[in-house]
Amino acid sequence: MKAQRVVLSAILATTVGLGAFAPSVHAQELRVGVLATLEGSLTPLGHEALRGTRLALSEVKETVAGRKITLFTAPTNATPDSAINGARRLIEQDKVEIIIGPVSGSEGLALVQFAKANPGVSFVNGTAAAPEATYRDPAANFFRFNADGVMWQAGLGTYAHNDLKYRRVASLVNDYSFGWAQMKGFSMEFCRAGGRIVDRLWTPLGTTDFSSLIARIPKNIDALYVMLVGADATNFITQYVQAGAPVPLIAGTNTVDQTVLATLTRKQLRDFIVGTPSASPVVDDWTDARYQQFVAAYRKAYPDGLPAPASAALGYYLNTKAVLSALAEVKGDLSGNQQKFRAALSKVQVEGPAGPVKLDENRQGDATIFLTTVKSGGDGKLYNSFVNATRGVTQTMGMDRSAFMKLGVPGRETVQCP
Amino acid sequence: MTDPTPQFRLWLTAAALLVVFPLLAPAFWVTQIASQSFILGTIALSLVLLAGYGGMVSLAQLAVAGVAGYFAAYFGVHSGASLGIPLPWGLTILVGLAAGIIFGTLVGLIAVRCQGIYMIMITLAMAVGLFYLARQNLGFFNAYNGFHGIKAPVVLGLDMRQPLPFYYLCLVCAGGLYAFVVYLGRTPFGLALQGVRDDARRMRTLGFDVERIRVMAFALAGFIAAVGGLLRLWYGGSISPGSINAGASITILIIAILGGMAKPIGAFAGALLFVLIQNFAIDFIDRERFNTMIGLILLAIILFLPNGAVGLAESIRERFRVASGPADRQPESGATPEVRPKP
Amino acid sequence: MDVKFFLTVVLNSLTLAALYFIVAAGFTLVFGLMRVLNLAHGAVYLLGAYVGFEVMQATESWLLAAAGGAVAAALFGVFMHVAILSWMPGQELRQTLATIAVSLIAADLMIANWGGLSYQIEVPDLLFGSLPLPGLGRYPIFRLTLIGIAIAIGVLLWLLLNRTKLGMMIRAGVDDRDMLAAMGKNVPLVFIAVAGLGGLLAGLGGVVGGSALAIAPGEDARVLLSSLVVVIVGGMGSVVGAAMGALLVGFAEQFGLAYTPTYGVVYTFLIMVAVLAVRPRGLFGAAT
- Which residue range(s) make up the domain with A276? 151-286+369-406
**Residue A118 and residue A227 in one domain:** no
Calculate how close chain B gets to C178, using CA atoms only, in Å: 13
Query: What's the pLDDT at A10?
Result: 53
Instruction: Report the pLDDT averaged over residues C81-99.
Output: 88
What is the structure's pLDDT at A69?
A: 94
- Torsion-angle region of A200 (φ positive above 0: left; ψ -120 to 50: alpha; else: beta): beta
The number of helix segments (H) and strand segments (E) in chain C equals: 11, 2
Nearest Cα residue to A178 out of A85, A312, A360, A322: A312
What Rg value do the Cα atoms of chain A yield, rounded? Answer: 23
- pLDDT tens track for C33-68: 888 889 999 999 999 999 999 999 999 999 999 999
Distance from CA of A201 to the nearest CA of C (A): 8
Q: Return the bridge partners of C133, or none.
A: C137
Interface membership of B279 toward A (CB under 8 Å): yes
Contacts of residue B78, defined as CB under 8 A and 6 or more positions apart, other chains included, come to B84, B86, B147, B148, B149, B150
Q: Say whether both A275 and A395 belong to one domain.
A: yes
- Alpha carbon dihedral A233, A238, A241, A246, in 10-degree steps, equals -30
Provide the residue type at A18 as one letter: L
Q: Are residues A194 and A139 in the same domain?
A: no
**Does C214 contact chain A (CB < 8 Å)?**
yes
CA atoms B101, B267, B63, B55: torsion sign: negative
β-strand partners of A37 = A76
Residues 6+ apart with CB under 8 A from B213: B189, B192, B193, B196, B203
pLDDT of A3 > 90? The answer is no
Phi–psi pair at A212, nearest 5 degrees: -70, -35
Residue in C12, C116, C137 nearest the CB of A211? C12
In sign, the C-alpha dihedral spanning B333, B335, B337, B343 is positive
Report the residue from A37, A43, A235 with minimal CB separation from C213: A235
How many residues in total does chain A contain? 418
Distance CA A118, CA A142 (A): 11
For B216, the 3-state DSSP assignment is helix
Q: Which of A73, A79, A409 to mutate against chain B (most B CBs within 10 Å)?
A: A79
Question: How many CB atoms neighbour CB B14 within 10 A?
Answer: 12
> Mean pLDDT over residues A162-177, rounded?
95
Q: Using CB atoms and an 8 Å cut-off, which of residues 55-114 of chain B contact chain A?
A: 79, 81-82
C273 and B110: CB-CB below 8 Å?
yes
Are the beta carbons of A342 and A122 closer than 8 angstroms?
yes
Which residue of B113, B118, B285 to mutate against C (max C Cβ within 10 Å)?
Answer: B118
Say if CB C209 and CB C41 are below 8 A apart: no
Instruction: Give the CATH number for residue B13.
Output: 1.10.3470
Residue C269: strand, helix, or coil = helix
What's the CA gap between B317 and B330, in Å, rounded?
12
Chain C contacts of B117, Cβ < 8 Å?
37, 92-93, 96
State the CATH number of the domain containing residue A352.
3.40.50.2300
Q: Residues C256, C259, C260, C263: what is their CA dihedral angle, to the nearest 10 degrees? A: 30
**CB contact at 8 A, A207 and C219:** no
Chain-wide mean pLDDT for chain C? 88
> Quick one: A116 and A230 in the same domain?
no
What's the number of domains chain B is made of?
1
Q: What is the mean pLDDT of chain A?
A: 90
Each residue of C111-131: pLDDT tens digit? Answer: 999 988 889 999 888 899 889
User: A5 to chain B: nearest residue by CA?
Assistant: B10
What is the per-residue pLDDT across B110-161, written as a single tens digit (0 to 9) for each? 999 888 888 888 899 899 999 999 999 999 999 999 999 999 998 888 888 8
Nearest CB to B279: which of A93, A411, A412? A93
Classify B157 as helix, strand or coil: coil
Q: What is the number of structural domains in chain C?
A: 1
Instruction: Tally Cβ neighbours within 10 Å of residue A382.
Output: 25
What residues make up the domain containing B37? 4-333
Same domain flag for A42 and A110 = yes
Looking at the structure, tell me whether residues A260 and A324 fall in a common domain.
no
What secondary structure does DSSP assign to A176-187, as a single string? SHHHHHHHHHHH
Interchain contact, B136 vs A176, CB within 8 Å: no
CB-CB under 8 Å, A39 with C217: yes
| Cα separation, C24 vs C27, whole angstroms | 5
Confidence band of A139 (pLDDT split at 50, 70, 90): very high
For position A12, what pLDDT does the model report? Answer: 47
d(C-alpha C80, C-alpha C82), whole Å: 6
3-class DSSP assignment, residue A71 = strand
Which bin fits A326, alpha (ψ -120 to 50), beta or left (φ > 0)? alpha
Closest residue to B341, CB basis, from C93, C100, C266: C93
- Between strands A277-280 and A67-76, the pairing is unpaired
Q: In terms of CA atoms, which chain B residue is nearest residue A130?
A: B145
What tens digit of pLDDT does each residue of A184-219 get? 999 999 999 999 999 999 999 888 889 889 989 998
Residues of A in contact with B135 (CB under 8 A): 204
All residues of chain B having their beta carbon less than 8 Å from the beta carbon of residue A11 are: 13-14, 17
Which residues of chain B lie closer than 8 angstroms to C281, CB-CB?
118
Residue B341 lies in a domain: no
Residue C185 has pLDDT above 80, yes or no: no
Report the C-alpha gap between C249 and C260 in whole angstroms: 15
Name every chain B residue with its beta carbon within 8 A of the beta carbon of A82.
Answer: 242
The reply to whether A360 falls in a domain is: yes
Q: Which residue of A has its CA nearest to C210?
A: A208
Concatenate the DSSP letters of all residues of B107-129 into one string: HHHHHTTS-HHHHHHHHHHHHHH
A208/C257 CB distance under 8 A: no
pLDDT of residue C251: 93
Chain-chain contact of B125 with C229 (C-beta, under 8 angstroms): yes
> Is residue A15's pLDDT more than 50?
no
Residue B342 belongs to a domain = no
Q: Is the dihedral of CA A406, A412, A415, A416 positive or negative?
A: negative
Using a CB-CB cut-off of 8 Å, the residues of chain A touching B29 are 18
A347: pLDDT confidence band, cut at 50, 70 and 90? very high
A192 and A99 in a single domain? The answer is: no
Nearest to C265 among B126, B136, B250 (CB): B136
CA neighbor of A178 nearest in space, from A146, A150, A208: A150
C254 and chain A: CB distance < 8 Å anywhere? Answer: yes
Instruction: Give residue C54's pLDDT.
Output: 96
Q: Which of the other chains make 3 or more beta carbon contacts under 8 angstroms with chain A?
A: B, C
| A3 belongs to a structural domain | no
Work out the end-to-end distance of chain C between its first and last CA atoms, rounded to an integer number of angstroms. Answer: 44
Task: Answer yes or no: do B243 and A412 touch at CB < 8 A.
Answer: no
Contacts of C94 in chain B (CB under 8 A): 302, 306, 341
Distance separating alpha carbons of residues C243 and C246, to the nearest angstrom: 5
Which pLDDT value is given to residue B158? 84
Question: A227 φ, ψ to 5°?
Answer: -130, 95
- Contact at CB, A244 and C218, closer than 8 angstroms: no
Interface probe for C, chosen from A211, A216, A306 (most Cβ of C below 10 Å), is: A211
Measured CB to CB, residues of chain A less than 8 Å from chain B are 1-4, 7-8, 11-12, 15-16, 18-19, 22, 75, 79-82, 84, 88, 92-93, 106, 109-110, 113-114, 116-117, 137, 175-177, 204-205, 409, 411-412
Handedness of CA C202, C206, C212, C215 (dihedral sign): positive
Residue A129: its pLDDT value, please?
Answer: 92
Q: Which of B112, B128, B293 to mutate against chain C (most C CBs within 10 Å)?
A: B128
Asked if residue A416 belongs to a domain, the reply is no
Q: Which of A16, A81, A93 sits opposite B243 (nearest CB)?
A: A81
- Distance of alpha carbon B297 from alpha carbon A188, whole angstroms: 54
Domain that holds residue C141: 18-228
Chain B residues in contact with chain C using a Cβ-Cβ cutoff of 8 Å: 57, 110, 113-118, 120-122, 124-126, 128-129, 132-133, 136-137, 246, 250, 253, 257, 288-292, 294-296, 298-299, 302-303, 306, 341-343
pLDDT at res. B81: 64
Whether A66 and A165 share a structural domain: no
C129 Cβ under 8 Å from any chain A Cβ = yes
Cβ <8 Å between B303 and C84: yes
**Does residue A22 form part of some domain?**
no
B250-287 CB burial, b ≥16 within 10 A, e <16: bbbbbbbbbbbbbbbbbbbbbbbbbbebbbebbeeeeb
Alpha-carbon gap, residue C15 to C151, rounded angstroms: 11
Q: Please report whether residue A263 resides in a domain.
A: yes
pLDDT-derived band at C284, boundaries 50, 70, 90:
low
The total number of structural domains in chain A stands at: 2
Nearest neighbour of A208 by CB, restricted to C116, C214, C262: C214
Say whether both A80 and A193 belong to one domain: no
Q: Do C261 and A202 touch (CB under 8 A)?
A: yes
Cα–Cα distance between C54 and C47 in angstroms, integer? Answer: 11
Judge if the upstream peptide bond of residue B306 is cis by omega within 30 degrees of 0: no
Interface test with B, best of A5, A11, A12, A18 (most B CBs within 10 A): A18
Q: Determine the distance in angstroms separating the CA of A80 from the nearest CA of chain B, rounded to an integer.
A: 7
Which pLDDT belongs to residue B210? Answer: 93
Cβ–Cβ < 8 Å for C237, C33:
yes
Does some domain include residue A70?
yes
Contact between A51 and A303 (Cβ < 8 Å):
no
Residues of chain B with pLDDT under 70: 1-4, 81, 282-283, 322-343
- B220-238 pLDDT, tens digit each: 999 999 999 999 999 999 9
Q: How confident is the model at residue C1 (pLDDT cuts 50, 70, 90)?
A: low
User: How much is the CA Rg of chain B, to the nearest whole Å?
Assistant: 20
Q: How far is CA B248 from CA A47, B131, B243, in A?
A: 26, 11, 6
What is the pLDDT, as a whole number, of residue A1? 41
pLDDT of residue B341: 44
**CB nearest B13 (choices: A1, A8, A18):** A8
Helix (H, G, I), strand (E, B) or coil at C175: helix
Backbone angles phi, psi at A173, to 5 degrees: -135, 150
Q: In chain A, what percentage of residues exceed pLDDT 90?
A: 71
pLDDT at res. B337: 36
**Alpha-carbon distances of B57 from A395, B291, C106, C179, rounded to whole Å:** 51, 22, 23, 30
Residues A282 and A303 reside in one and the same domain: no
Measure C122 CA to nearest chain B CA, in Å: 30
Q: Is the pLDDT of residue A299 over 70?
A: yes
Contact between A395 and A148 under an 8 Å Cβ cutoff? The reply is: yes
State residue C90's pLDDT score: 80
